[in-house]
Amino acid sequence: MIEFDNDFTWESDKSIDEMMQEAYQKILLEKENGVSGYFTLGEDSLEIMEDALAYAASNEFIKKSDTIVIIGIGGSSLGTKAIDSIFKHQNTDVKKMLFLENPDEIDLSEKLASIEKEKTLFIIVSKSGSTIETISIFKEIIERFSLDFADGDKSRVTTITDEDSVLHKFSKYYGIESFLIPSNVGGRFSVLSAVGVVPLAIAGYDMKSILEGASIMAERFFTKKENHILKKAVFLTKHKKETPMNVVFSYANCLEDFTKWYVQLWGESLGKIDKQGNHTGLTPIGHIGSVDQHSFLQLIMQGPRDKTVTFIKVDNFEKDIKVPDITLKFIEKTDYINGYSFNELIDGECEATKESIVKEGINVDAVTLDVLNEKNIGKLIMYYELLTSLCGIMLGVNTYDQPGVEIGKQILLKKFTKSS
- Given this model, what pLDDT does residue 14 score? 65
Q: Quote the CA–CA distance of 372 and 377 in Å, as a whole number.
A: 7
**Amino acid at site 197:** V
pLDDT higher than threshold 70 for residue 420: no
* Domain map (residue ranges) of the chain: 2-32+210-403, 38-205
**What mean pLDDT is reported for the chain?**
93
Cβ atoms of residues 69 and 122 within 8 Å = yes
Q: Which residues contact 359 (CB under 8 A, 6 or more apart)?
A: none
Question: Which of 396, 132, 167 has the alpha carbon at shortest distance from 272?
Answer: 396
In this prediction, what percent of the chain has a pLDDT beyond 70? 98
pLDDT higher than threshold 70 for residue 12: no
CA 281 to chain centre: 19
- Given this model, what pLDDT does residue 6 score? 87
Cβ atoms of residues 363 and 8 within 8 Å = yes
Tell me how many degrees the CA angle 3-9-14 measures, rounded to the nearest 5: 100
- Given this model, what pLDDT does residue 17 score? 87
- Given this model, what pLDDT does residue 418 score? 67
- Given this model, what pLDDT does residue 417 score? 77
Better pLDDT: 403 or 241: 241
pLDDT in tens, 74-95: 999 999 999 999 999 887 789 9
| CB crowding 238-272: b at 16 or more within 10 Å, else e | bbbeebeebbbbbbbebbbbbbbbbbbbbbbbbbb
- Given this model, what pLDDT does residue 419 score? 54
Angstrom distances, CA of residue 95 to CA of 22, 67, 201: 45, 5, 10
Average pLDDT over residues 101-106: 94
Cβ atoms of residues 374 and 252 within 8 Å = no
Q: How many CA atoms lie within 13 A of 153 on its CB side?
A: 15
- Given this model, what pLDDT does residue 319 score? 85
- Which of 65-69, 306-310, 416-420 comes out lowest in average pLDDT? 416-420
Task: Classify domain 2-32+210-403 by CATH architecture.
Answer: 3-Layer(aba) Sandwich (3.40)
Fold match between domain 2-32+210-403 and domain 38-205: yes
Active-site residue list: 268, 294, 409
Average pLDDT over residues 142-166: 93
Topology at the third CATH level for domain 38-205: Rossmann fold (3.40.50)
Q: Name the pTM for this structure.
A: 0.94
Strands 2-6 and 364-371 turn out to be antiparallel
pLDDT in tens, 20-32: 999 999 999 999 9
Question: Which of 47, 377, 378, 50 has the alpha carbon at shortest distance from 202?
Answer: 50
In which order are the strands placed within the sheet that holds 283-288?
A: 2-6, 364-371, 307-316, 245-250, 283-288
pLDDT in tens, 54-63: 999 999 899 9
Q: Which residues contact 417 (CB under 8 A, 6 or more apart)?
A: none
SS (H, E, C) the chain: CEEEEECCCCCCCCHHHHHHHHHHHHHHHHHHCCCCCHHHHHHHHHHHHHHHHHHHHHCHHHHHCCEEEEECCHHHCHHHHHHHHHHCCCCCCCCEEEEECCCCHHHHHHHHHCCCHHHEEEEEECCCCCCHHHHHHHHHHHHHCCCCCCCCHHHHEEEEECCCCHHHHHHHHHCCEEEECCCCCCHHHCCCCHHHHHHHHHHCCCHHHHHHHHHHHHHHHHCCCCCHHHHHHHHHHHCCCCCCEEEEEECCHHHHHHHHHHHHHHHHHHCEECCCCCEECCEEEEEECCHHHHCCHHHHHHCCCCEEEEEEEEEECCCCCECCCCCCCCCHHHHHHCCCEHHHHHHHHHHHHHHHHHHCCCCEEEEEEEECCHHHHHHHHHHHHHHHHHHHHHHCCCCCCCHHHHHHHHHHHHHHHHHC
User: To 10 degrees, the CA torsion angle through 329, 331, 335, 338?
Assistant: -80
Residue 150: pLDDT band by 50, 70, 90 thresholds?
Answer: confident
Q: Quote the CA–CA distance of 151 and 148 in Å, as a whole number.
A: 5
Average pLDDT over residues 96-119: 95
pLDDT in tens, 163-214: 999 999 999 999 999 999 999 999 999 999 999 999 999 999 999 999 999 9
The residues with which 27 forms a beta bridge, in sequence order, are none
Cβ atoms of residues 200 and 94 within 8 Å = no
Cis peptide before 290 (omega within 30 of 0): yes
pLDDT higher than threshold 90 for residue 41: yes
pLDDT higher than threshold 70 for residue 44: yes
Better pLDDT: 102 or 416: 102
Q: Quote the CA–CA distance of 363 and 235 in Å, as a whole number.
A: 10
- Given this model, what pLDDT does residue 13 score? 67
Residue 8: pLDDT band by 50, 70, 90 thresholds?
Answer: confident
Cβ atoms of residues 300 and 309 within 8 Å = yes
